[in-house]
Amino acid sequence: MVSEDLFLSPGKIRVRYVFRNDGPAPVTGEVIFPLPPISLAELADDMMFSLPREHLFRENVVGFTAAVDGKAIAVGSERIAVLEPPPDEHRRSAARYETPGEDVTPLLNELAVPLSLDAAKVTAILDELPQPAKDRLQAKGVADFQAGESPVPLWSIIVRYHWTQTFAAGREVRIEHGYTPAPPGGIFVWPEPGRDFDAYHRELIETYCLDAGSQKALAKLLRPRSGGPSVGTALQLDYVLTTATTWHGPIGTFRLTIDKGQPANILSLCIDGIRKTGPTTFAVEKKGFIPTRDLRLLIVSGPEG
């Protein structure tokens, strides 16, 4: 990987790569770009996603596009349904791609349950299943059926984009792709100054490298106004970098640009060498870069955000 130029924001992700095949012969293979699992249970519970809800009903849910050497290419996609493992704060972000969970796609296909992100539609189909089918799904932990309540789908959907790519011997290939991310988020509360941090906030401090300055800024941003609640909202945007280690050698030149959205928003992540380049933008550049951890961004907006 000669270079990687990565742009991250709540509304758009763009990546530009330059690859060079140093071998004596062309190499052809399938390039696969998976999205992180999207939980049907969370969608059914109306948890907040930055992705517009109507986009969830499209086949190309995040509007993924790709180009090779400046020319747009056709990109295929497929969906699988998985049962994600229980939450674990020590689990690497990349694990959601490498070992996302138990594949339950064949069972859902057998029962004619669509791999849709329309949670209301899926719930209605589950409700109409014959009792033996409901019993199978309940026994395998794929769905929850409680008397007098709507069924709850417990699986997550992974959308995988892919195309066939040839890397000619001794030549550079420029690959670009972009999409609209769907990071989870919701109500965000920060303790008042002087109060001890609970386990949840200590985990946030460690995960997003919230130093003393960031903690002070959060307390100020979320300070109650006119007697209002001391709350804001947050997005947690992850991007897997460590898969770059599967390419030959380090990334020659790595550039990262982050746009936090609004000037008042607070951004925190664990990375060295970051600098502010504008009212909402930050940048990092590294040479001979070997990523050892994935990117995890916390973007917090105040009560009016």
pTM here is 0.84
State the fold for domain 3-104+155-301. Answer: Immunoglobulin-like (2.60.40)
Of 130-144, 187-201, 274-288, minimum mean pLDDT range? 187-201
Q: What is the pLDDT of residues 2-23, one digit of tens each?
A: 999 999 999 899 999 999 999 9
**With pLDDT > 90 as the criterion, what percentage of the chain qualifies?**
61
pLDDT exceeds 80 at position 53: no
Per the listing, tokens 């669509």 go with 114
* Segments making up each domain of the chain, as ranges: 3-104+155-301
pLDDT exceeds 70 at position 148: yes
Q: What is the average pLDDT value for the chain, to the nearest integer?
A: 88
Interval 212-239 mean pLDDT: 82
Interval 257-284 mean pLDDT: 96
Strands (E), the chain: 3-8, 13-20, 27-34, 38-39, 65-68, 71-72, 76-83, 102-103, 143-144, 152-153, 156-167, 172-179, 185-189, 231-239, 251-259, 266-268, 275-276, 281-289, 295-301
